[in-house]
Amino acid sequence: MQAHDSILGAIGNTPAVWLDRIVASRGLNGRILAKLDYLNPGFSKKDRAALGIVEEAERNGSLKPGQTVVELTSGNMGTGLAIVCSVKGYPFVAVMSRGNSPERARMMGALGAEVVLVDQCEGSIPGEVSGGDLSKVDDVATQITVDRGAFRADQFHRLGNPDAHANSTAPEIWEQSGGTLDAFVDFAGSGGTYTGTIRGLKAVKPEIRGYIVEPDGAAVISKQALTRLNHPIQGGGYAMPDLAFLERAPIDGTLIVTGEEAREATRALAKEEGIFAGFSSGANLAAALQLLAGELSRMTIAIVICDSGLKYLSTDLWD
């Protein structure tokens, strides 16, 4: 294997593993394939979207040489953009809620980003970022973009996000599964990973089923009443019913997991499979186990291991 010209060449082509131990220990039939995107350079799947957004903007001319890039983040997209911008020579400003784990801010700063932290809404809980908290972050990011004449990476709308997953994540998962997949499950953040991956998978096997995962109490895509704005699954579940990417994505079903189910599944990944992942990865696993215990018994499901457990050391995930 030849060396890459930069760290950007190391984004994608992550390994995948079968979670047969976890499935068997619970007496279930079927298989779960875990795509290890926490092994990207920024320790998350968002590296793919960050590179896709920047390169799309370079191609269409919306990002000028040396222009500042700004984006709101829970930490993962910001880390990916910090890496991409440092290599390509763009100043980068990451805007993040103080409710996200502080190690994320320190990592972005170490990678050269200017990090702007935004106070949570009154009554919000540290470690549990709500849609209201995200709205405050968006307001600050929007103002910084205007003040600095910056390029807004806008992971919720720029097509470089889902396109990156359609062009890389989907074909990688399909090949690694040996063409055996029956379903794909993903926790809803921006919706980019789900939209791009299911689009790519259905292009090769239209009958593959796609499921969106949401947190209990904030499952608005599932048409459930909004009863809990705060939850511990960082990086998504913001109770945003109008995610632009999902409006154009095929969705065969939705699944709801509690914070405790996600926590237990994340710990199981570490203890039973040696995969040190974060909360949303546990949510994906918990949802996949629901399917194997029900309508998709004996079938094969793919999930993404979204980010690293290293980003949650200051939270109660590992208490």
Note the pLDDT tens digit of each residue in 48-87.
999 999 999 999 999 999 999 999 998 999 999 999 999 9
Q: What is the predicted pLDDT for the residue at 231?
A: 75
What is the pLDDT at residue 242?
A: 75
For residue 243, what pLDDT is reported? 86
The torsion angles phi and psi of 148, rounded to 5 degrees, stand at -105, 5
Quote the pTM value.
Answer: 0.94
What pLDDT was estimated at residue 10?
98
Alpha carbon distance 219, 62 (integer Å):
34
- Chain centre distance of CA 138: 18
pLDDT score for 106: 95
Q: Which of 46, 88, 136, 311 is catalytic?
A: 46
Asked about 46 being catalytic, the answer comes back as yes
CATH architecture of 7-44+159-318: 3-Layer(aba) Sandwich (3.40)
- What is the length of the chain? 319
Specify whether 280 is catalytic. Answer: yes
Fold type of domain 46-152: Rossmann fold (3.40.50)
Q: Which residues of the chain have pLDDT under 50?
A: none
pLDDT of residue 281: 96
Measuring CA to CA, how many Å separate 57 from each of 53, 156, 232, 240, 269? 6, 15, 33, 25, 37
Catalytic residue of the set 74, 97, 124, 280: 280
* pLDDT of amino acid 241: 66
Which residue spans of the chain are classified as CATH 3.40.50.1100? 7-44+159-318, 46-152
Angle separating helix axes 102-110 and 76-88, nearest 10 degrees: 0
